[in-house]
């Protein structure tokens, strides 16, 4: 790149352009497109951001990650950091293949190359230290790398629900103790790149509200507010809905270079659209027939009926608005393919599928050639998809057949064909026109019917505006769509037409400080002012109530004594539901499927529990018995309606014996079923995933959690493996005298970091040593963040005193410290032991609570200003996620009960003061600094044991 194209306040130099281009190429493997260079020069190089980035599909929006990383490296090198250190790339929940994670992993891999040493050093990454990347979706277990060091850069890829819930202190699948940790590191020093922002307007509005009103949600004091790094938003969209002041758009100078081998072919990729009037045949038959015709060598007048006609090695994608239509279209294509070379080269992708199978579909899509750059095809292939395949997946089909849907979805579909462009590539797009929707009552159409009519008419009009007056061709190339949007930015009538043709943005509730304050009180089990957060993420959506279904080989059930609510909740806290296990679909569909499945079982299992119903936050709702699902009488119908109502918005964890899962889809007629009436000795049907929990799909990565049935005095060698630690027992049988004789052991992989609870694992460590290590880590974090000296001193004092409460006799005894001191020759009180923990001896004691009086008596602590003393005490009390605002006094014997209650009251009042002073995300961010230092010190201890 030989020209200076940036502005940088008039001071851009040729050298600056060359440096960015070189570093961008080191990270990505390709030269930056002109728009990418311009985005860096005009914004990121100055520590600034546009209000949005509006780029046509296929032009590399994901590479904004690399632009941010280069700019951040330059700032960290200079010591003047204004860009956020964490970058969160949000994709809609319907995404299939985690393209963004793959791109981030490529950045990390390229940073390890020798050519990237200057970049790596600037980012503060050591020789053996990799860029932290975490994924909050799909089959990926959150590795929590992004939590380890708030002062280091990190990339997080997640969905609207997984990121949004964490940001609002309600993290789905996250324990209450960890929620403030997640929220603190997402609500400060974070840049959110919201991909395809036009598809989730409520979430975009939520993020914009937080980013643009720092004073409302942060400190009212300007000096204090400046200490908390910013939360920033950058929407990425080819079809922006939200009007912003400084949108960054593609300009003609970005693609008029005739030597451009990337942008020009993609921007002008030929895509010709034809409207096909639906005849009397069923929609699925019409879609299958047209898809088949797109692959035929010759377009004979038999309209595709002759299945023996030779086929071209093309990839045809078929989009259907309905899952039912998609399944039937797939079946129709399979029937046509039975006698041809394309047999077995069809794939179905729908949303109501277990996430494990959805993510495993990537390999299948590669085999069929639907993922971009997967090589030349030798046989035709067909992909039938619903909206699940419209977003977040780098598909590149040759031709497209679909029904007519809202404009923003049509644009997404157009972007999945001829994605790379090039000579002699023409994508034929056939859209079946079913005609204008007809209201049930012509004289009084409902609001929903009026909306459907408006969308239909709007899409038809927009397609006509894309018709070439000379050739009569409807071109939907990225350039044609870009020009349409450009005209709309200057034409109010056209802009309104696009709005009419698009799905209306869902109504959404407003965010306010009181709501966030209520959500942030994560140690309160109940709060009347804490509503469910879903409407703030996706708006009030008019859709069928949903239920999440999970299959487990082991459930917390037994014959006697009766299982308690606490036991069930403790069980699922020890082995929580992970996204990869889940299948989300309509509650009525689940109920219909449950009834069909239950009717297939033998009478002997009717009295057995088949499932456990949990609320969104993991609380036990009720047990579901096989007999509950049987019957057809009127009274049974009422009972079934009640069950269906209870399924709404809940997670149903079924025993794997219930079966009915095939290829990740609910199948009521599958032959697998209840294999054994013995609820304690379950057999493993083919539909279950085995004893290992959270196993990565490569089959090689160790699972995070596993289950084992253990009988007294008969532990196997495998059960005693040092690689595994028992985190919880679920009692299955007791002897007549009450002794436990058989239990279900929930074990976790030793290498898995546990930042939630007191640790009883790894190498025993003296308390003084652990607190010394934590202090050094806290000081280092504070210095890298550029905190003022007095705040670094406060953080170091809190780190030095945070575990003083472990000196309590009950803690040392419960954690078997004396045994480890003798065995390992350690003097003084211990901070880490081998365990196991005797919870009864602990009596509910929280060592954080016991640390507070030690801190108040410390000489260095007393030298801190009063406001920093307040903050230090809160960080100590909250470093395991409690004290927001409540913390238990049980088990603590260092003062009379009345004084303990007074201390707990001080904890709650202190939280309220500091929350007001720093704001909910600001206070959680301060907490995250000490928690991260504690985690780092614990990992250092674990690493020393291994070495």
Structure tokens at 244: 């912003």
Phi, psi of 462 (to 5 degrees): -65, -40
Q: For position 687, what pLDDT does the model report?
A: 35
Is the per-residue pLDDT at 716 higher than 60?
A: no
Report the alpha-carbon distance of residue 573 to residue 727 in Å, rounded: 10
The burial of 870, by beta-carbon neighbours within 10 Å (0-12 exposed, 13-18 middle, 19 or more buried), is given as middle
Residue 252 has pLDDT above 60, yes or no: yes
61 contacts 55 by C-beta, under 8 angstroms:
yes
Candidates 747, 650, 730; CA nearest to 691 is: 747
Q: Is the pLDDT of residue 760 over 70?
A: no
Contacts of 648 (CB under 8 A, 6+ apart): 545, 546, 547, 587
From CA 336, how far away is CA 897, in angstroms rounded?
78
Predicted TM-score of the model (pTM): 0.86
For the sheet containing 705-711, what is the strand order? 692-693, 705-711, 740-749, 724-734
Length of the chain, in residues: 947
Tens of pLDDT along 260-299? 678 888 999 999 999 999 988 999 999 999 999 999 865 4
Q: State yes or no: pLDDT of 372 exceeds 60.
A: yes
- In this predicted structure, what is the pLDDT of residue 238? 67
Question: CA-CA distance, 947 to 938, in Å (whole number)?
Answer: 15
**E strands within 675-809?**
692-693, 705-711, 724-734, 740-749, 765-766
Mean pLDDT across the stretch 372-386?
A: 83
| Whether 781 contacts 795, CB under 8 Å | yes
Residue 256 pLDDT level (bands cut at 50, 70, 90): confident
Averaged over 350-368, what is the pLDDT?
82
CB environment 666-694: b (16+ within 10 A), e (fewer): bbeebebbbeeeebeebeebebbbebbbb
Q: Residue 823 is encoded by which pair of tokens?
A: 């065995």
Cα(518)–Cα(513) distance, integer angstroms: 9
Q: Report pLDDT for 3.
A: 40
Tokens of 93: 């929940």
Q: Pick the range with the lowest mean pLDDT from 156-170, 331-345, 706-720.
A: 706-720
The pLDDT tens digits for 641-699 are 999 999 998 999 998 888 888 888 898 876 666 544 333 333 333 334 445 444 333 33
Three-state DSSP at 231 gives strand
Query: Helix, strand or coil for residue 230?
Result: coil
pLDDT, average across residues 191-213: 94
The region that residue 919 occupies, defined by phi over 0 for left and psi between -120 and 50 for alpha, beta otherwise, is left
8 Å CB contact between 110 and 23 = no
Element (H, E) at 881: none
The pLDDT of residue 298: 56
Strand order in the sheet with 270-277: 346-349, 381-385, 315-319, 399-403, 426-433, 270-277, 474-475
* pLDDT at site 806: 97
Torsion of CA 262, 265, 266, 272, to 10 degrees: -170
CA-based nearest residue to 236, from 64, 414, 70: 64
3-state secondary structure of 612: strand
Q: Could you tell me the two tokens for 175? A: 């324990």
- Cβ–Cβ < 8 Å for 248, 39: yes
Q: Which residue has the higher pLDDT, 95 or 940?
A: 940
* β-bridge pairing 583-586 and 546-552: antiparallel
Average pLDDT for the chain = 86
pLDDT of residue 10: 47
- Angstrom CA distances, 522 to 97, 430, 526, 600, stand at 33, 52, 9, 44
SS3 content of the chain, % helix, strand, coil (to 5): 45, 15, 40
Sign of the torsion angle spanned by Cα atoms 936, 938, 943, 944: positive
pLDDT tens-digit series, residues 730-739: 888 888 887 8
Question: Between 366 and 493, where is the model more confident?
Answer: 493
pLDDT band at 762 (very low <50, low <70, confident <90, very high): low
Please write the tens of the pLDDT for every residue from 845-894: 999 999 999 999 999 999 999 999 999 999 999 999 999 999 999 999 99
Q: How far, in Å, CA of 894 to CA of 193, rounded?
A: 49
The per-residue pLDDT for range 63-89, each reduced to its tens digit, is 999 999 999 999 999 989 999 999 999
Is 344 a residue whose pLDDT tops 60?
A: yes
Helix intervals (H) in 218-315: 222-227, 263-267, 283-294
**3-class secondary-structure state, position 177:** coil
| CA–CA separation, 568 and 869 (whole Å) | 40
pLDDT given at position 742: 86
Which segments of 560-619 are extended strands (E)?
583-586, 609-614
DSSP state of 371: B
Q: Which parts of 648-718 fold into alpha helices (H)?
A: none
Supply the pLDDT for residue 19: 87
795-838 pLDDT tens trace: 999 999 999 999 999 999 999 999 999 999 999 999 999 877 88
Q: Is the pLDDT of residue 722 over 50?
A: yes
**Is the pLDDT higher at 678 or at 902?**
902
pLDDT digits (tens, 9 = 90+) for 822-833: 999 999 999 999
pLDDT at residue number 925 = 98
50-63 pLDDT, tens digit per residue, is: 999 998 888 888 99
**Residues forming beta bridges with residue 706, ordered by sequence position:** 692, 747
Distance CA 498, CA 488 (A): 8
Q: Tell me, what's the pLDDT at 2?
A: 37
CA 509 to chain centre: 22
395 forms beta bridges with 371
How far, in Å, are 317, 393, 498 from residue 429 at the CA level?
Answer: 10, 19, 20
In Å, what is the CA distance from 769 to each residue of 209, 418, 856, 942, 944?
44, 61, 21, 13, 13
Peptide bond into 836 cis (omega under 30): yes
Average pLDDT on 407-435 reads: 92
Measured between alpha carbons, how far is 15 from 35 in angstroms, rounded to an integer? 18
Quick one: what percent of the chain has pLDDT higher than 90?
Answer: 59
10 Å Cβ neighbour count for 236?
21
> Is the peptide bond between 475 and the residue preceding it cis, with omega within 30 degrees of 0?
no
- What pLDDT is attached to residue 945? 61
Q: Which of 108, 115, 100, 152 is nearest to 130 (CA)?
A: 108
What distance separates the 2 farthest-apart alpha carbons in the chain? 94
More confident residue, 513 or 16: 513
Residue 435 has φ and ψ, to the nearest 5°, of 90, 165
């Amino acid at each position: 790149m030989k020209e200076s194209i940036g502005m940088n306040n008039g001071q851009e130099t040729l050298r600056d352009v060359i440096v960015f281009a070189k570093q961008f190429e080191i990270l990505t493997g390709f030269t930056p497109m002109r728009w990418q260079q311009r985005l860096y020069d005009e914004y990121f190089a100055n520590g600034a951001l546009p209000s949005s980035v509006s780029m046509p599909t296929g032009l590399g929006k994901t590479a904004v990650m690399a632009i941010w990383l280069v700019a951040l490296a330059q700032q960290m090198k200079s010591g003047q950091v204004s860009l956020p250190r964490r970058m969160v790339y949000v994709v809609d929940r319907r995404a299939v293949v985690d393209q963004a994670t793959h791109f981030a992993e490529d950045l990390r891999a390229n940073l390890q190359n020798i050519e990237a040493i200057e970049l790596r050093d600037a980012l503060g990454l050591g020789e053996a230290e990799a860029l932290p990347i975490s994924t909050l979706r799909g089959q990926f277990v959150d590795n929590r790398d992004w939590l380890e060091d708030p002062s280091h850069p990190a990339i997080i890829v997640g969905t609207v629900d997984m990121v949004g819930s964490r940001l609002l202190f309600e993290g789905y699948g996250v324990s209450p103790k960890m929620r403030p940790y997640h929220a603190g590191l997402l609500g400060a020093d974070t840049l959110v790149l919201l991909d395809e922002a036009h598809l989730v307007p409520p979430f975009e509005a939520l993020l914009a509200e937080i980013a643009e009103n720092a004073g409302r949600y942060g400190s009212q004091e300007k000096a204090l507010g400046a200490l908390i790094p910013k939360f920033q938003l950058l929407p990425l969209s080819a079809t922006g809905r939200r009007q912003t002041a400084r949108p960054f758009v593609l300009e003609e100078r970005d693609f008029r270079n005739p030597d451009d081998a990337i942008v020009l072919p993609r921007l002008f990729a030929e895509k010709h659209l034809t409207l096909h009037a639906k005849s009397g045949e069923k929609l699925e038959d019409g879609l299958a027939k047209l898809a088949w015709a797109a692959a035929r060598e010759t377009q004979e007048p038999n309209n595709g009926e002759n299945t023996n006609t030779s086929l071209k090695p093309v990839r045809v994608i078929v989009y259907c608005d309905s899952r039912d239509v998609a399944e039937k279209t797939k079946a129709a294509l399979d029937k046509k393919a039975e006698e041809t070379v394309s047999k077995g080269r069809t794939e179905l992708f729908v949303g109501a599928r277990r996430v494990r199978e959805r993510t495993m579909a990537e390999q299948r899509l590669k085999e069929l050639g639907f993922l971009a750059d997967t090589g030349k095809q030798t046989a035709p292939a067909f992909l039938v998809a619903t909206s699940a395949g419209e977003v977040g997946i780098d598909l590149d089909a040759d031709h497209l057949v679909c029904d007519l849907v809202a404009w923003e979805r049509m644009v997404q579909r157009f972007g999945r064909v001829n994605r790379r462009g090039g000579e002699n590539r023409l994508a034929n797009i056939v859209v079946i026109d079913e005609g204008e929707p007809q209201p049930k009552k012509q004289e009084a159409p409902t609001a929903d019917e009026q909306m459907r009519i408006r969308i239909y008419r709007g899409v038809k009009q927009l397609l006509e505006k894309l018709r070439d007056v000379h050739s009569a061709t409807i071109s939907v190339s990225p350039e044609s769509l870009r020009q349409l949007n450009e005209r709309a930015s200057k034409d109010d009538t056209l802009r309104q037409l696009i709005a009419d043709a698009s799905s209306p943005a869902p109504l959404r509730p407003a965010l306010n400080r009181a709501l966030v304050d209520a959500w942030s009180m994560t140690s309160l089990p109940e709060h009347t002012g804490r509503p469910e957060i879903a409407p703030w993420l996706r708006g009030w959506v008019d859709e069928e109530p949903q239920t999440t279904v999970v299959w487990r080989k082991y459930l917390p059930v037994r014959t006697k004594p009766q299982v308690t609510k606490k036991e069930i909740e403790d069980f699922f806290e020890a082995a929580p539901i992970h996204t990869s296990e889940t299948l989300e679909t309509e509650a009525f569909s689940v109920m219909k499927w449950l009834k069909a499945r239950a009717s297939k079982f033998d009478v002997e299992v009717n009295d057995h529990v088949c499932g456990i119903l949990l609320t969104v936050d993991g609380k036990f709702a009720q047990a579901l018995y096989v007999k509950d699902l049987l019957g057809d009488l009127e009274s049974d119908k009422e009972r079934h309606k009640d069950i269906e109502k209870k399924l709404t918005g809940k997670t149903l964890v079924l025993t794997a014996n219930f079966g009915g899962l095939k290829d990740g889809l609910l199948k009521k007629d599958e032959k697998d079923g209840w294999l054994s009436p013995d609820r304690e000795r379950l057999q493993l049907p083919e539909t279950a995933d085995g004893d290992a929990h959270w196993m990565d799909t490569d089959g090689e990565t160790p699972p995070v959690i596993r289950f084992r049935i253990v009988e007294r005095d008969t532990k196997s060698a495998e059960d005693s493996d040092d690689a595994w630690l028992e985190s919880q027992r679920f009692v299955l049988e007791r002897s007549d005298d009450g002794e436990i004789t058989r239990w279900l052991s929930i074990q976790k992989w030793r290498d898995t970091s546990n930042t939630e609870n007191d640790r009883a694992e790894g190498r025993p460590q003296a308390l003084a040593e652990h607190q010394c290590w934590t202090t050094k880590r806290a000081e280092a974090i504070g210095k890298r963040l550029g905190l003022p000296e007095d705040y670094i001193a406060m953080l170091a004092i809190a780190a030095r005193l945070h575990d003083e409460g472990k000196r309590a006799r009950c803690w040392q005894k419960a954690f078997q410290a004396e045994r480890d001191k003798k065995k390992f020759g350690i003097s003084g009180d211990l901070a880490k032991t081998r365990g196991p923990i005797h919870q009864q001896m602990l009596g509910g004691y929280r060592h954080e609570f016991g640390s507070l009086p030690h801190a108040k008596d410390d000489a260095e602590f007393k030298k801190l200003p009063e406001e920093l003393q307040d903050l230090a005490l809160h960080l100590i009390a909250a470093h395991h996620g409690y004290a927001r605002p409540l913390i238990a006094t049980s088990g603590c014997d260092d003062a009379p009960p009345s004084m303990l209650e007074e201390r707990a009251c001080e904890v709650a009042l202190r939280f309220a003061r500091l929350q007001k002073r720093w704001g909910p995300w600001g206070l959680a961010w301060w907490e995250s600094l000490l928690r991260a230092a504690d985690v780092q010190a614990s990992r250092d201890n674990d690493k020393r044991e291994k070495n």
